[in-house]
Structure 1
Amino acid sequence: MPEKIDYDAKIPNNVNLGDDRRLQRALEGWQPKFLNWWGEMGPTLETHGVYLRTAVSVGREGWAHFDHVNVPDYRWGIFLAERDADRRIAFGEHQGEPAWQQVPGEYRADLQRLIVIQGDTEPASVEQQKLLGLTAPSLYDLRNLFQVNVEEGRHLWAMVYLLHAYFGREGREEAEALLYRNSGSPDAPRILGAFNEETADWLAFYMFTYFTDRDGKYQLGTLKESAFDPLSRTCEFMLKEEAHHMFVGTTGVDRVVTRSADLIREHDTLDIGPRGGIPLDVIQKYINFHYTVSLDLFGSETSTNAANYYTAGLKGRWQETRRKDDHQLTDGSTFLDKPNEDGTWSTDEVQTLLALNLDLRGEYIADCNSGIKRWNRILADAEIDFRFALPHVGFNRQVGLHAGHHITPDGTIVDQATWESAKHRWLPTTEDLAFVRSLMHPVYERGKIASWVAPPTHGINQKPFDYEYVYLT
């Protein structure tokens, strides 16, 4: 497989698409439907050139090129990481066998389902962020929004290629449905709940790219371990692009916290709303919401589906090959804290193989805590006596064993009345959301930025902050 990407083709690719005329025609038939979707559901703000990163190869070094691109003309394509001809399956009952280049018949339905669910998340986030360009706090942020959006669009292409290339008529039909469903639609919503939530302001965007795109990192990481080699290679390259999305979230929240800290010190009060800043307790509420909605994406703590996917070799663990065990998981157990109806907690012992979602969620939570430490360091350096925290894993949950229980951020199980009377302290209220939205005035002048967020410490691709990242006229 060539490392370089063919940009002379109608659909840029490094999978020798021209050698399969039937597949090429099918994807060229899907392409205008994708462009129609992008025109209707993609970014609302019209631009005349955005300083974007475009993949030019899939090697470890020098894989991206930066230049101003007219967004509707962005060359979405199909890019897989280089193939390792000697790759072996690392886990499950097929451990040690050569990785599959085609879909085994007995796993066809399950693999298709995994690809569809992953594929469905990619256009959903574009739809959720459709209006954000209208309130961008700076040209730098506007550029980052478009970069995230075009790469989510490319990640949709990545999954659509697999559906078309390996799953026949059913795959083609599923590829059509990926454009039919829309985020928040009452008739045809996206498959997973977090992708039907509104992303109505830039603090929500930073939280989404920190917490929800981080879930995407871990889901892609499990699929990268798949015995189905084209899926593995697809996800490996997607993870390179996904890293920037999480960078946008991490540094975005950094900058909000920094600006809020500056205003607190300047005015000697935590009540910085009247001074045009976002209060720390509101930031904490956003953390609570986006974190817990993202936890739901990991599914139930115990799952026979996840166990079956693992045993079959379809979906591994995060960094499977670095694990120091037998990669079979037929023995061994783990412990799970469980809420009880009487308001107490108990501990269940469950088979390791059945607790793979719990294992992956644990990796995610540890990663999320790194952001909390960053943001608390900003407050500590500013000598502000306030600290952010991730809420208890059972707080505000709609999926898994905590669903249906009312659990406070510190892990106390309470009754519904207590929850209802106190939740305004833990989750963004209508008033909180309205206040944050009231700050969202666009700043499109070079080198300028909105009052509620600090400028970045570095620009993109060694460009300064006041570079003209977006041409608007």
Structure 2
Amino acid sequence: MSTINYSEKIPNNVNLSEDRTLQRALEGWQPNFINWWDDVGPEGSTNHEVYLRTAVSVDPQGWAQFGHVKMRDYRWGIFLNPGDAERKIHFGDHLGEKAWQDVPGEHRANLRRIIVTQGDTEPASVEQQRHLGLTAPSMYDLRNLFQINVEEGRHLWAMVYLLHKHFGRDGREEAEALLQRTSGDQDNPRILGAFNEKTPDWLAFFMFTYFTDRDGKFQLSALAESAFDPLARTTKFMLTEEAHHMFVGESGVSRVLTRTAQVMNELKTDDPQKVRAAGAIDLGTIQRYLNFHYSVTIDLFGADQSSNAAIFYSSGLKGRYEEGKRTDDHILKGQTYKVLEVRDGQLVEKEVPMLNALNEVLRDDFITDSVAGVNRWNKVLEKAGIPTRLTVPHKAFNRQIGALAGIKMSPDGRVVNEAEWAAKKSEWLPTPEDFAFVASLMGRVVDPGKFAGWIAPPVMGINRQPVDFEYVRFG
């Protein structure tokens, strides 16, 4: 069933009305969700009418419609890609068996953990971004922020549906807990570290949506391979929405670089203080923000060696990115993969069983994808005749998880001592002064077609609308 029923209280394409118990349970959760949105969702947005994309189908062609919607009236719902009754499990110990429509008892705890962890990231990013609307650099950007926020809210619904439908009382309790944890809360924080970091300004937001939403792409792609068919189908549709989030990040940083390069060329200088004095963000600050967000994000993939990763793969719960395009046996027993460790003060590679290194496999896929986008940013600088290039730091830089946690490593991959780290840290990671400077630029600009002085306008508007379209109507 590809169309979505908007006549029901909870829009869906899963025939919710045929399961009255489930429908009542989700309708009981719905007011708690709205309370959460009102409490920690986008600040001051209640009466705004925003030009939002709303899913109307899960067909890849014409799946969404655009129109002005009050944020609080957005029709969050439950949408799964069409099912295939003949779908087979295509990796792990159950290779070739029929995909599961229900949760096998022996995998119940692990599946619940996977779904809860994914579900927890969705409201967390809304909480991290809740104040950003107050400092939007344009109405166009404000609309993009709000689009991401409502879609992260819908991705929470996607996971809550699975918890309610397939995990009974445990699932209902976990669904409640997803609204009780809060990003950065000392007593009840979000599950993963990156989702407790602040997103204090729009440069951080663009880096977050480029890197951290890209982690989302890879995690969702791995779950879209799952033997548990409802999880695979819901994450496939989430990926359709996720693409826009990464576009916002990539194009946002591109536009910051375009403006910075323009100022550098106008002033004929690469002096960061002169660039800052002209109201643009210097390239050193952009590089430090990149280093921070990249290193925090690659920690999200988990420890380099993980028995859980091996169990998730072998039992069919979570595959690799683009599992179907890989040409090995999809069981991986006896295969190896290289991971890094520090031995005698040097970084060395060692071969480990591939099943235990699947977090590292996914991290390396993410790194390849991330580097391609950074190269596109460098094309902006190249085109402007600026010789500086942005780089991603070494994957052992600033790590807090796994065998590389706490190792003092330079961005170019040298193990350094405490003294050098202390001396160079302010060159490698954003400083309080960097944050204060970027914050000083964050004045709100919301007249149609006007943009803050530190960012260039986009090349085109949303859904073929002009750049100066009234994307947000303020109530």
In structure 2, distance between residues paired with 1:334 and 1:40: 46
**2:14 counterpart residue number:** 15
Which structure 1 residue ranges, 4+ long, deviate > 6 Å from structure 2?
none
Task: Say which SS state the counterpart of residue 66 (structure 2) adopts.
Answer: strand
Render the CA deviation track for 1:445-465: whole Å, top value 9, x for unaligned. 011000000000010000010
2:48 corresponds to 1:45: no
2:293 corresponds to 1:294: no
How big is the shift at 1:400? 1.1
**1:35 counterpart residue number:** 34
Which region of structure 1 is more displaced relative to structure 2, 312-321 or 409-418? 409-418
**2:312 counterpart residue number:** 309
**1:26 counterpart residue number:** 25
Equivalent position to 1:468, from 450, 467, 470:
470
Counterpart residue identity of residue 361, structure 1: R
**2:149 counterpart residue number:** 149
Q: Which aligned pairs between 1:250-289 and structure 2 lie closer than 5 A? A: 250-270=250-270, 271=272, 272-289=275-292
How big is the shift at 1:332? 1.6
Render the CA deviation track for 1:70-111: whole Å, top value 9, x for unaligned. 000001000000101111000011010110000000000000
Render the CA deviation track for 1:375-416: whole Å, top value 9, x for unaligned. 111111111110100000000010011102100101111122
How big is the shift at 1:346? 2.1
Q: Is the 8 A contact 2:398 2:406 kept in 1?
A: no
How big is the shift at 1:48? 2.5
Render the CA deviation track for 1:129-182: whole Å, top value 9, x for unaligned. 000000000000000000000000000000000000000000000000000000
In structure 2, distance between residues paired with 1:346 and 1:14: 51
Q: Is the 8 A contact 2:50 2:472 kept in 1?
A: yes
In structure 2, distance between residues paired with 1:179 and 1:73: 19
Q: Is the 8 A contact 2:112 2:163 kept in 1?
A: yes
Q: Which aligned pairs between 1:156-195 and structure 2 lie closer than 5 A? A: 156-195=156-195
Counterpart residue identity of residue 207, structure 1: M
How big is the shift at 1:284? 0.2
**2:382 counterpart residue number:** 380
In structure 1, distance between residues paired with 2:195 and 2:379: 31
Q: Which aligned pairs between 1:209-288 and structure 2 lie closer than 5 A? A: 209-270=209-270, 271=272, 272-288=275-291
In structure 2, distance between residues paired with 1:20 and 1:350: 47
Equivalent position to 2:458, from 456, 459, 471:
456
Counterpart residue identity of residue 350, structure 2: D
In structure 2, distance between residues paired with 1:172 and 1:20: 16
Q: Which aligned pairs between 1:427-466 and structure 2 lie closer than 5 A? A: 427-466=429-468
**1:6 counterpart residue number:** 5
In structure 2, distance between residues paired with 1:346 and 1:152: 39
Counterpart residue identity of residue 48, structure 1: H
Task: Say which SS state the counterpart of residue 444 (structure 2) adopts.
Answer: coil
Equivalent position to 1:366, from 354, 363, 368:
368
How big is the shift at 1:337? 2.5
Task: Say which SS state the counterpart of residue 375 (structure 1) adopts.
Answer: helix
In structure 1, distance between residues paired with 2:188 and 2:60: 39
Render the CA deviation track for 1:34-60: whole Å, top value 9, x for unaligned. 000000010003343000000000011
How big is the shift at 1:472? 1.2
Task: Say which SS state the counterpart of residue 284 (structure 1) adopts.
Answer: helix
Which region of structure 1 is more displaced relative to structure 2, 164-173 or 371-380? 371-380
2:114 corresponds to 1:114: yes
Which region of structure 1 is more displaced relative to structure 2, 151-160 or 344-353? 344-353
In structure 1, distance between residues paired with 2:348 and 2:214: 29
Give the alignment's TM-score, normalised by structure 2: 0.98
In structure 1, distance between residues paired with 2:16 and 2:41: 26
Task: Say which SS state the counterpart of residue 337 (structure 2) adopts.
Answer: strand
In structure 2, distance between residues paired with 1:343 and 1:48: 56
Task: Say which SS state the counterpart of residue 296 (structure 1) adopts.
Answer: helix
Identical pairs, percent: 61
In structure 2, distance between residues paired with 1:259 and 1:208: 20
In structure 2, distance between residues paired with 1:53 and 1:407: 43
Counterpart residue identity of residue 42, structure 1: G
Counterpart residue identity of residue 26, structure 2: L
Equivalent position to 1:327, from 318, 327, 330:
330
Counterpart residue identity of residue 356, structure 1: L
Counterpart residue identity of residue 36, structure 1: N
Task: Say which SS state the counterpart of residue 243 (structure 1) adopts.
Answer: helix
How big is the shift at 1:345? 2.1
In structure 2, distance between residues paired with 1:406 and 1:265: 36
In structure 2, distance between residues paired with 1:207 and 1:121: 16
In structure 2, distance between residues paired with 1:312 and 1:99: 12
Which region of structure 1 is more displaced relative to structure 2, 396-405 or 129-138? 396-405
Counterpart residue identity of residue 277, structure 1: A
Task: Say which SS state the counterpart of residue 473 (structure 2) adopts.
Answer: coil
**1:132 counterpart residue number:** 132
* Structure 2 unmatched ranges of 5 or more: none
In structure 2, distance between residues paired with 1:435 and 1:262: 19
In structure 1, distance between residues paired with 2:313 and 2:336: 16
How big is the shift at 1:344? 1.2
**2:70 counterpart residue number:** 70
In structure 2, distance between residues paired with 1:418 and 1:178: 41
Render the CA deviation track for 1:257-294: whole Å, top value 9, x for unaligned. 00000000001112300000000000000000000000
Render the CA deviation track for 1:175-196: whole Å, top value 9, x for unaligned. 0000000000001000000000
CA RMSD of aligned residues (A): 0.7
